[in-house]
């Protein structure tokens, strides 16, 4: 069975096992490596990407669920790294090792699309599925607020 | 092969500088070729390649004063970072030191990642020793280039060398107002003699333009755009993917296996039995069965379909509950004396009161967000590897040994690391990739799953510690006895059963105690799993026990914990080994003359952290503060943690202060981020971290049961202060972690009256 999907604006037809997680279709088949494998069980959020604007954990999402849909990965969030979150992330030097950050940004982008001015509690709730082992949570909160134009207390 | 050139980690500061909040003018070079990596001439930085050396000698090859630096006629300054980037900011720090000493313009600097090669000296990125260990050498590296550039300019201008200066990427002759860019001088400078080490004069620190400033994150733009290359992101033509089923018990082996069902999975190519592990386990793979497939999903499914019967081996009795009892029993009897001052037994016998406490801390897993991964290509020429390793030279040695190759036939390229914390200093996973690639005759990406990572780690040691203090009539502490039992890291490499001096120096031997009678004893404990170093290593549990105990003494006496800290430290002074009661101190490999144990620095960070946190208001309604201070990796860090009663019975950490004196620092921004991260890393372990064993196997398998801190559990605010210091640099990646757990436990006691001596805290309190 072949899967038709649009990834970052480009149409692809994939001849893969429809049960293959979208993560591996994106990484191994399409060669888009910005999306990371962290746990394989939707526990850490490193693989967070968007299907039709909704954030999903690609490591547990069968590729068939993206059939006929639009997938956005970190590579497609903006053409040139100019998404307000990407800019805020750099201005505050959020990343340490950087491995979880694509997932953090994709989850945050889905949040801001729904809630352009989130409260701190909404940020914590939305970002709760994304683990950062280096401990950048303080700056992640601050960068989301900065991108949203919400002031720090 | 038509693989892309090896250009995994070559990045310019330009993108980061362009986005920096201020302080950097891009000047004439804004928007030029530097913004586009593909236009940069590919400088082959590999040092041991004779062809490269020949090219260098040829006219027009630019300036290459040493293996770390190349300056081209195009004015590009390429600086090699030979240490691994794992979030600690080494790529945004070490090259800056070279550039500043050289007088380079950061906008023109490209950073190339060094392959594993002894020509770079020690490359093992651990022990918080990159800046402190290379501070002068890296400046010499930059100074050598500066001297040759200045000599070339002086020659061309026919002026005295002493009348020329180098800064901002050019050599200046102020008297005649002449200037030559480094690029214009590169070829002529390359013909100048390379200065001898003793002839290299370093600049005064005040001339290092960026030292101690906040610099942009070199790899930041790539990271936020998903372009940064980590271990799993390198793709070679014809590359296969392998996952390995490893023996659940360390030292176990495959008794029987049936590959049929695995081979039936679409995409699976082969099933390979790996060599059995032999003691000492060291850096060798643990054996098992590899499943090789044309994609990761197929390899994972193939592994799940394997039918393996394991021979568990002699560690199958390892049970964390029983082992804990063993450690607690061990610290009831005397161990081997490691530190001794006065007569502890007599002082304890004569003490008016005794305070005693036993502390326990479990195994921990590193759980870096990027699980171990390596890509290997073995062919007739040797082996080429791309991997996220902290220790590329060890990887080279181990791969060569495992494949029967000469080390010169093995190349290790270092990618970015998605966290390391000590795990990626051990190249067992790199050897696995090489073995499987050799078997397959094809490039192989060997991917560890999260379950593999949690279940086959080199674990942070489990420990028990018993502290006893004797107080005299006035309440003064006159005796201090500290007994420690934990399976030593040395057990991974030898049959050692006692704590090593290297482990005990991490808080037990070097903590100044203004107490006349002191004894520390290391007790025996046999390891039944692979023990390894995890960020801050033995400091973590030693600081937890010692700094909790100081707080317990304060409460036993009814005095302010800060006053107790000051009393135990005594007046500000330098402590010699004899004052500590030890014959010598390893001192993290550096001299005690340069890096003495100096209680003035303990007091200084205590002063600042208690001022910033308003320690005098430490107990208000529903909120309490806890304090701890600790010296490690030659830096001094004090922490205050604030805890509050949250909704229901739950307790939350709402705020933290961390103050560090790390001597001279390079990149203030990365230093601050390390300290901020250290607070959360330390809190996560103290609150939730626990690895336990049953029947010799790890009980946890993923983030569901190996719990890490999530964003809602992080404090609202973490305040960081770095004390201004011109002393020699100390470590920064690790020293922030050790004081965090005791500061938290002390805060929890102040809030709840419950003393937590067993980690993780979540076992005894609702947090």
With contacts defined as CB-CB under 8 Å, which chain B residues touch A100? Answer: 369, 418
Say if CB B586 and CB B499 are below 8 A apart: no
Chain B residue with CA closest to A62: the answer is B297
Say if CB A58 and CB A35 are below 8 A apart: yes
Q: In this complex, is the C-beta atom of A124 within 8 Å of any C-beta atom belonging to chain B?
A: yes
Residue where a domain terminates, one of A62, A77, A92: A77
Q: Which two tokens stand for residue B351?
A: 């003490």
DSSP string, B381-421: TEEEEEE--S-HHHHHHHHHHHHT--GGGEEEEE-B-S--T
**Residues B96-109 pLDDT 10s:** 999 999 999 999 99
Q: What sign results for the dihedral spanned by CA atoms B647, B648, B649, B650?
A: negative
Say if CB B540 and CB B738 are below 8 A apart: yes
Chain A, residues 87-106, CB within 8 A of chain B, namely 87, 89-91, 93, 95-102, 105
**Residues B721-741 pLDDT 10s:** 999 998 999 999 999 999 999
With contacts defined as CB-CB under 8 Å, which chain B residues touch A105? Answer: 224
Query: Between the CA of residue B348 and those of B113, B328, B469, B476, B759, what are the distances in Å?
Result: 56, 21, 7, 12, 28
SS3 B289: strand
* Torsion of the alpha carbons at A22, A24, A30 and A35, rounded to the nearest 10: 80
B9: confidence class by pLDDT, cuts 50, 70, 90: low
Cα B293 from Cα B298, distance rounded (Å): 6
Whether A128 maps to a domain, the answer reads: yes
* pLDDT at site A152: 75
Q: Are residues A65 and A94 in the same domain?
A: no
CATH number assigned to the domain comprising residue A129: 1.10.150.120
Cα B172 from Cα B610, distance rounded (Å): 48
Segment B314-342 mean pLDDT: 98
Q: Are residues A66 and A111 in the same domain?
A: no
pLDDT at B212 over 70: yes
* pLDDT at site B61: 86
pLDDT at A104 over 50: yes
pLDDT at B119 over 50: yes
Nearest chain B CA: its distance from A74 CA (Å): 6
B562: confidence class by pLDDT, cuts 50, 70, 90: very high
Whether A32 maps to a domain, the answer reads: yes
Q: Are residues A106 and A67 in the same domain?
A: no
**Residues B371-430 pLDDT 10s:** 999 999 999 999 999 999 999 999 999 999 999 999 999 999 999 999 999 999 999 999
Say if CB B539 and CB B507 are below 8 A apart: yes
SS3 B671: helix
Q: Do A97 and B718 touch (CB under 8 A)?
A: no
**Residues B671-713 pLDDT 10s:** 999 999 999 999 999 999 999 999 999 999 999 999 999 999 9
Domain B10-225 and domain B320-365+459-763 have a common topology = yes
With 0-12 / 13-18 / 19 or more C-beta atoms within 10 angstroms meaning exposed / middle / buried, residue B59 is exposed
Segment B296-325 mean pLDDT: 97
Q: Residue B377: what are its φ and ψ, rounded to 5°? A: -130, 110
pLDDT at B316 over 70: yes
pLDDT at B22 over 80: no
Selection from B295, B292, B294, B289 nearest residue B307 by Cα: B289
Which residues span the domain enclosing A130? 84-148
* pLDDT at site B50: 40
Q: What sign results for the dihedral spanned by CA atoms A76, A81, A83, A88?
A: positive
**Residues B475-521 pLDDT 10s:** 999 999 999 999 999 999 999 999 999 999 999 999 999 999 999 99
Task: Report percent pLDDT > 90 for chain B.
Answer: 91
Number of H helices, E strands in chain A: 6, 5
- The CATH architecture one would assign to domain B231-314+372-447 is 2-Layer Sandwich (3.30)
**Cis check: omega of the bond before B760, within 30 degrees of 0:** yes
Mean pLDDT, all residues of chain B: 92
With contacts defined as CB-CB under 8 Å, which chain A residues touch B295? Answer: 20, 24, 28-29
pLDDT at B69 over 80: yes
CATH number assigned to the domain comprising residue A24: 3.10.20.30
Kindly list the domain boundaries of chain B, sorted by start residue.
Answer: 10-225, 231-314+372-447, 320-365+459-763
Task: List the CATH code of the domain at B10-225.
Answer: 3.30.365.10
pLDDT at B27 over 70: no
* pLDDT at site A153: 62
pLDDT at B57 over 90: no
Return the residue matching tokens 């526990």: A43
CATH topology of domain B320-365+459-763: Aldehyde Oxidoreductase; domain 4 (3.30.365)
* Residue ranges with strand state E in chain A: 3-7, 10-14, 48-51, 54-57, 70-72
pLDDT at B21 over 90: no
Q: Which two tokens stand for residue B582?
A: 């030890």
Residue where a domain terminates, one of A77, A95, A112: A77
Q: Are residues A7 and A73 in the same domain?
A: yes
pLDDT-wise least confident of B47-56, B251-260, B377-386, B611-620: B47-56
Q: Are residues A68 and A105 in the same domain?
A: no
Q: Are residues A123 and A138 in the same domain?
A: yes
Whether A153 maps to a domain, the answer reads: no
* pLDDT at site B621: 87
With contacts defined as CB-CB under 8 Å, which chain B residues touch A27? Answer: 232, 296
Number of domains in chain A: 2
B12: confidence class by pLDDT, cuts 50, 70, 90: low
Task: Report percent pLDDT > 90 for chain A.
Answer: 97
Cα B693 from Cα B529, distance rounded (Å): 9
């Amino acid at each position: 069975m072949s899967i038709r999907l649009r990834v970052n604006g480009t149409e692809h037809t994939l001849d893969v096992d429809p049960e293959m997680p979208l993560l591996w279709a994106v990484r191994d088949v399409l060669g888009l490596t910005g999306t990371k494998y962290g746990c394989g069980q939707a526990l850490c959020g490193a693989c967070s990407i968007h299907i039709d604007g909704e954030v999903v954990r690609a490591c547990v999402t069968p590729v068939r669920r993206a059939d006929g849909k639009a997938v956005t990965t970190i590579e497609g969030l903006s053409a040139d790294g100019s998404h307000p979150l990407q800019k805020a992330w750099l201005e505050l030097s959020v990343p340490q090792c950087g491995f979880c950050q694509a997932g953090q940004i994709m989850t945050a982008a889905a949040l801001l699309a729904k809630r352009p001015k989130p409260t701190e509690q909404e940020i914590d709730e939305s970002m709760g599925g994304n683990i950062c082992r280096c401990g950048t949570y303080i700056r992640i909160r601050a960068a989301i607020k900065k991108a949203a134009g919400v002031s720090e207390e | 092969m038509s693989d892309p050139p090896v250009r995994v980690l070559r990045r310019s500061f330009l993108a980061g500088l362009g986005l920096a909040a201020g302080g950097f003018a891009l000047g004439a070079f804004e928007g030029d070729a530097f913004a586009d990596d593909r236009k940069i001439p590919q400088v082959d930085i590999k040092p041991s390649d004779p062809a490269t050396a020949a090219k260098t000698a040829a006219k027009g090859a630019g300036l290459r004063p040493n293996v770390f630096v190349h300056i081209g006629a195009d004015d590009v300054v390429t600086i090699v970072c030979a240490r691994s980037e794992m979030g600690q900011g080494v790529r945004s720090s070490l090259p800056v030191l070279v550039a500043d000493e050289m007088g380079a313009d950061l906008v023109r600097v490209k950073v190339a990642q060094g392959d594993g090669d002894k020509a770079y000296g020690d490359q093992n990125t651990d022990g918080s020793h990159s800046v402190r260990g290379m501070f002068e050498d890296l400046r010499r590296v930059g100074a050598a280039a500066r001297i040759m550039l200045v000599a070339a300019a002086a020659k061309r201008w026919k002026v005295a060398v002493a009348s020329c200066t180098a800064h901002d990427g050019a050599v200046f002759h102020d008297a005649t107002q002449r200037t030559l860019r480094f690029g214009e001088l590169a070829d002529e400078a390359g013909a100048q003699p390379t200065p001898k080490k003793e002839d290299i004069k370093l600049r005064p620190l005040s001339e290092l333009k960026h030292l101690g400033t906040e610099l942009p994150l070199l790899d930041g733009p790539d990271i936020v755009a998903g372009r940064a290359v980590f271990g799993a992101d390198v793709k070679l033509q014809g590359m296969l993917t392998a996952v390995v089923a490893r023996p659940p018990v360390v030292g176990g082996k495959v008794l029987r296996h049936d590959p049929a069902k695995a081979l039936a999975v679409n995409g699976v190519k082969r099933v390979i039995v790996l060599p059995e592990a032999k003691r000492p386990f060291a850096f060798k793979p643990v054996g098992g069965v590899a499943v090789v497939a044309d994609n990761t999903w197929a390899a994972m499914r193939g592994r799940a379909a394997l039918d393996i019967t394991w021979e568990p081996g002699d560690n199958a009795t390892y049970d964390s509950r029983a082992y804990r009892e063993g450690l607690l029993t061990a610290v009831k009897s005397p161990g081997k004396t490691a530190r001794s001052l006065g007569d502890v037994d007599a002082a304890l016998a004569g003490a008016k009161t005794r305070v005693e406490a036993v502390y326990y801390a479990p195994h921990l897993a590193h759980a870096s967000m990027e699980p171990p991964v390596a890509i290997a290509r073995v062919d007739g020429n040797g082996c080429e590897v791309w991997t996220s390793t902290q220790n590329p030279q060890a990887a080279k040695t181990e791969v060569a040994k495992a494949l029967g190759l000469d080390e010169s036939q093995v190349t290790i390229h270092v990618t970015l690391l998605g966290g390391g914390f000590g795990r990626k200093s051990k190249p067992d996973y790199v050897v696995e990739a090489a073995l499987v690639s050799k078997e397959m005759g094809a490039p192989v990406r060997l991917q560890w799953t999260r379950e593999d990572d949690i279940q086959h780690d080199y674990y942070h040691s489990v420990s028990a510690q018993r502290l006893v203090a004797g107080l005299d009539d006035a309440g003064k502490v006159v005796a201090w006895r500290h007994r420690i039992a934990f399976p030593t890291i040395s057990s991974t490499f030898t049959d050692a059963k006692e704590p090593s001096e290297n482990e005990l120096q991490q808080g037990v031997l070097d903590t100044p105690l203004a107490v006349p009678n002191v004894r520390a004893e290391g007790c025996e404990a046999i390891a039944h799993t692979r023990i390894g170093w995890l960020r801050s290593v033995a400091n973590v549990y030693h600081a937890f026990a010692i700094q909790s105990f100081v707080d317990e003494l304060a409460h036993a006496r009814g005095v302010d914990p800060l006053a107790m800290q000051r009393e135990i430290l005594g007046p500000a002074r330098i402590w010699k080994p004899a004052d500590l009661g030890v014959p010598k101190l390893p001192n993290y490999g550096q001299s005690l003359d340069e890096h003495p144990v100096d209680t003035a620095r303990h007091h200084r960070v205590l002063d600042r952290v208690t001022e910033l946190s308003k320690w005098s208001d430490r107990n208000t309604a529903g909120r309490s503060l806890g304090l701890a201070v600790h010296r490690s990796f030659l830096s001094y860090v004090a922490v205050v943690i604030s805890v509050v009663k949250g909704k229901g019975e739950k307790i939350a950490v709402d705020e933290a202060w961390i103050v560090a004196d790390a001597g001279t620092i390079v990149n203030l921004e990365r230093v601050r981020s390390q300290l901020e991260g250290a607070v959360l890393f330390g809190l996560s372990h103290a609150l939730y971290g626990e690895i336990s064993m049953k029947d010799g196997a790890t009980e946890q398998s993923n983030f569901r049961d190996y719990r890490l801190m999530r964003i809602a559990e992080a404090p609202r605010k973490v305040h960081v202060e770095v004390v201004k210091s011109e002393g020699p640099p100390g470590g920064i990646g690790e020293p922030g972690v050790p004081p965090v757990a005791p500061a938290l436990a002390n805060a929890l006691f102040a809030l709840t009256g419950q003393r937590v001596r067993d980690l993780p805290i979540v076992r005894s309190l609702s947090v």
